[in-house]
Structure 1
Amino acid sequence: MVDKVVIVTGGGGALGKAIAAAMAAEGASVVVNDLGVSLKGEGGSSTVADMVAAEITSAGGRAIGDATSITTFDNAQQIVQRAVDTFGRVDAVVNSAGILRDAIFHKMEEAEFDAVMKVHLYGAWNMSRAAAPHFRQQGSGAFVHMTSAAGLIGSIGQANYAAAKMGIVGLSRSIAMEMQRFGVRSNCIAPHAFGRMIESVPGLSPEQQEAYMAKRRATTRADQVAPLAVFLCSDGAKDISGQIFGARGNEVYLYSQPRPIRVLQRGDGWTSQSLASTLPGAWRSSLTPLERTRDVFPWDAV
Structure 2
Amino acid sequence: MKLVCYRDGGQERLGVVEGDSVRRLSGHDGDLVSLIENYDALRSGLKADGEATPLDNVELLAPIPRPRRNIFCVGKNYSEHAREFAGSGYEAGATTDVDEFPAVFTKPASTVIASGQDVDLHADITDSVDYEVELTLIIGKGGKNIPAEKAHEHIWGYTIINDVTARDRQKQHKQWFLGKSLDSFCPMGPFAVTADEVTSEDLDLQTWVNGETRQKANTRDLIFDIPSLVATISAGLTLVPGDLIATGTPAGVGIGFNPPKFLKSGDVVEMEITGLGRLKNTFR
- TM-score by length of structure 1 reads 0.29
Higher strand proportion (structure 1 or 2): 2
- TM-score by length of structure 2 reads 0.30
The structure with more radius of gyration: 1
- Where relative contact order (Cα < 8 A, 6+ residues apart) is larger, the structure is 2
Higher helix proportion (structure 1 or 2): 1
